[in-house]
Amino acid sequence: MHPILSIGNLQCRYGEQVVIESVSFALQEGEIACLLGPSGCGKTTLLHAIAGFQPVTEGSIQLSGEVISSPEIQVPAERRKIGVVFQDYALFPHLTVEQNIAFGIQSMPKSERQSRTQSLLQLVRLEGFGQQYPHQLSGGQQQRVALARALAPRPKLLLLDEPFSNLDTELRRSLASEVRRILKQTGTSALLVTHDRNEAFVAADKLGVMGEGQLLQWDTPEQVYQAPANADVARLTGSGNLLTGVVTDNRLVQTPMGLMNTTENTLQPGTRVKVFVRSGGIEIGEHEYAVPVLIAERDFLGEQCLYQLTLTDGQTVEASLPAQPELSSGVSVPARVTRALVFPA
């Protein structure tokens, strides 16, 4: 069976500027994928190419095995059976919630249309809101209407472009999980674009990390987090610190934050490496590998505190540790790295 979406060696350009280069991945039927990447890396361009709003200059996009985009073929957007949910909801302000949801299914017989609209209202938990107008709803409710409207014609694939970015952080995460429930319940294959890793982790079966027009890694969120392909992916998938280091004779890594173990055992002694230490991979306390650090700043966050630790070479690293009153700014303590990701420099 063909994947629902298959992207092969894709390139997109704006004039001479290449903004998508050699991107390949496949999305299986019913899967939810998230494309995560910093602003300007080409996420929206890629989504637009899949939707049919953006021509491709090399490679191809296939939907259920049929080429819908290539340098020679460009199936019009309205014939792709692809739904799109935009960042700004794009609801029709003069139509009620029900009318918005039913907008794309006008060709259905009336009774079928009405029952589909009602079941979608139920699916997005907005029963009772059918007669309201978009401006009477909260941002999160409006985005759920936009989702119901996009799902109404039963698209083969749903694209979501930064769908939660207008909402506050707390709501973003709960809506990401709500959208995942809705997509799974309807068996909808979807590709969601975001620059918020928490949103991507919550929603995705597959995570695609992008940087400067290229797909840096495509895997499950767990795999990407635990085994990032390179230091850029590590940085994009979790806060932390990038240090430089050298592999020692006994296969440890020497860094400005002391010695640390590595699971990367193919590196020869003397190799220069990049070391990414997540904020949770630092421990305070005596240990043979510990080095003295100065607590430069301490932000109390409840269960955890976020510390800025100054190393003897002047660098500052960020550490997330359980709140302890004795660890306050200005205090010098021993600290070490307990977990690190090591990459060739």
Ligand X SMILES: Nc1ncnc2c1ncn2[C@@H]1O[C@H](COP(=O)(O)OP(=O)(O)OP(=O)(O)O)[C@@H](O)[C@H]1O
- Interface with ligand X includes 172 (CB under 6 A)? no
Length of the chain equals 345
- Residue listed under structure tokens 């890396």: 41
Distances (CA, A) of 208 to 48, 92, 191, 223: 16, 32, 10, 11
Q: Which stretch binds ligand X (CB under 6 A): 37-45, 220-228, 282-290, 302-310?
A: 37-45
- Interface with ligand X includes 195 (CB under 6 A)? yes
Binding residue for ligand X, selected from 31, 43, 137, 206, defined by CB under 6 A? 43
Closest residue to ligand X, based on beta-carbon distance:
44
- Interface with ligand X includes 236 (CB under 6 A)? no
C-alpha angle 256-212-6 in degrees, rounded to nearest 5: 120
Give the per-residue contact string, 8-27, with ligand X (x = CB under 6 A; - = no).
------x----x--------
Q: Please report how many Cα atoms fall inside a 13 Å half-sphere around the Cα of residue 97, on the Cβ side.
A: 27
CB of 194 to ligand X, least distance (A): 9
Whichever of 86 and 133 has its CB closer to ligand X, that residue is 86
Binding residue for ligand X, selected from 44, 60, 62, 69, defined by CB under 6 A? 44
Task: Output DSSP code: residue 74.
Answer: B
Whichever of 14 and 300 has its CB closer to ligand X, that residue is 14
- Interface with ligand X includes 240 (CB under 6 A)? no
What's the sign of the alpha-carbon dihedral 279, 280, 281, 286?
A: positive
Report how far residue 106's alpha carbon sits from residue 149's, in angstroms, rounded to the nearest whole number: 12
- Interface with ligand X includes 197 (CB under 6 A)? no
Can you spell out the DSSP letters for 166-208? Answer: TS-HHHHHHHHHHHHHHHHHHT-EEEEEES-HHHHHHH-SEEE
CB of 123 to ligand X, least distance (A): 28
CB of 23 to ligand X, least distance (A): 12
Q: Which residues sit at the interface with ligand X, rule CB under 6 A?
A: 14, 19, 37, 39-45, 195
